A and B are shown apart, each in its own frame.
Chain A
């Protein structure tokens, strides 16, 4: 009896970890964009949803999950580039509230357009046969696809770390989020960097969307609560801190996973309670610097 409970608990910890991975991908994109551009992208959740729908679309054309996994995030990233270049760019120099308001309007448009194009009834996205079924981990069996989500997120995190820490562009991004004026004084055109970072951040949202599709289903409203929970993750981790986004994402995944196990009715609420506690104890978030970008 005890063993059964224990393995159910272990499964829940793993499920929480998988949810945490989706949070991390969303929060890193939000945090990158915010850290460099002080733009809060409210449309992040609707781009997450588009990633899943684009995945279904590409899969329908090619019957190739792997191709969809690569192309769908790129399509979302391309849309992100258009949004930054032609809309958000007009708002630089205005109040930081304005990009938030604009992307809120965009999120309404995107969600409604998705309903119009793909209908109100949700779609499904099946993982490839290699990733179907369960893996026996010794103490429990766990869906292979979910293990894959954990692995691919870890790989993406390593790639982002390498990009930011070991490449010249990464150096400019880090410098740009610390002191944009100085970077520009050195003769670097930051507007191209902003465009690139917005594209990367939104592509990560798209990747999170197509990864979440086979687990949660694909529907127009799938990004709505995700974006709010990702905001919470970013606030808990500390705005603009990537390590904070990773730690807080994993932590919040566990908060949801474990609350679902012990008290299902409280699962959605605990995320916000955890946020309130962090705000009381450390107002700038776990890894945030006080007063940064306020």
Chain B
């Protein structure tokens, strides 16, 4: 046994109980990073990447337009609070989720008419369409200036009111929602539906031959993925109290692609590992140089070339390799 034995049993426990492991790690996470805001960002962008990963990592569909659903979630929540002046926190989050889900259903319907590489280009094109719509609907979205005036809300629970203004308060509020999302993802992946998703990724022709209506399954995966991304957008709108127009821009789509691939597409924790890596890199590099996207672009390209399984995928592959050896 010794060190390696206990490390292996720890890894096995994480593999067997991913949601519990997630809960334990992120419960203490804010105290492991230099400042609390970074911890919240990792949670939110990890959730965004988790949604992207459901579609790319588990269903095999590369979306280059996930900014659309993140942005729809953010604007849905922001418009309800800042333009319609409702004060319900859950109503605002629900509106974001609903808008992202609807957007996913409509855009998914169009994009799923084509497969493979076309799909990636179509998702990108539709996201760009939404960006321009958001840009011109300035009465609702604030246009180029972004949507401002989102109030900071209090969380009303029976017999208890929590302020979300403190960074730590907001972190644990997001933490609860993200843990629920992670548990929902686990439930989806373990269901027969989740098995069909992975069958489509491995061999979509065979999935058709087995009698599955793969277009319906793909569309449902698309909508779920969009709603995870939408929840992330909604939380980010509440965190920042503003929705910048860049939320819908293709650079946001590119970020979630990079985060997921850095961490490891098709792995359970990869999106969060990737989000943390990306955000810490961005934070550190931007202190040194304005040209940090150049460095991140180079790191990402190197990962595509040499470490396509990403950080988490490569680590876990190493463990499994040793186990079988």
Contacts and interface: CB of A to CB of B under 8 A. Distances in A.
Interface of A: 34, 38, 40, 87, 90-91, 94, 96-98, 100-102, 104-109, 111-113, 115-116, 224-225, 228, 231-232, 234-235, 239, 265-266, 268-269, 272-273, 275-276, 279-280, 283, 293-294
A276 B110 contact: yes
Contact of B125 (A109, A113, A235): A235
Contacts of B132: 268-269, 272
Given A231-B121, A265-B136, A272-B125, A104 B305 contact: no
Interface centre among A100, A101, A102 (most CB of B within 10 A): A101
A269 B248 CA distance: 14
Contacts of B116: 96, 293-294
Nearest to A42: B64
B124 interface: yes
Contacts of A105: 258, 297-298, 300-301, 304
B171 to A, nearest CB: 30
Contacts of B146: none
Interface in B189-239: none
A50 B122 CA distance: 25
A90 B304 CA distance: 10
Contact of A272 (B126, B136, B296, B305): B126
A265 B138 CA distance: 12
Contact of B113 (A102, A273, A283): A283
Interface residues of B, number: 36
A11 B131 CA distance: 29
Contacts of A98: 304, 308
A294 B294 contact: no
A107 B64 CA distance: 14
B147 to A, nearest CB: 19
Given A101-B257, A279-B122, A283-B114, 14 more contacts: A38-B117, A91-B305, A94-B308, A97-B117, A101-B62, A101-B300, A105-B297, A105-B304, A109-B297, A272-B125, A275-B122, A279-B114, A280-B113, A294-B117
A141 B195 CA distance: 64
A108 B129 contact: no
B257 A96 contact: no
B126 A116 contact: no
Contacts of A231: 121, 124-125
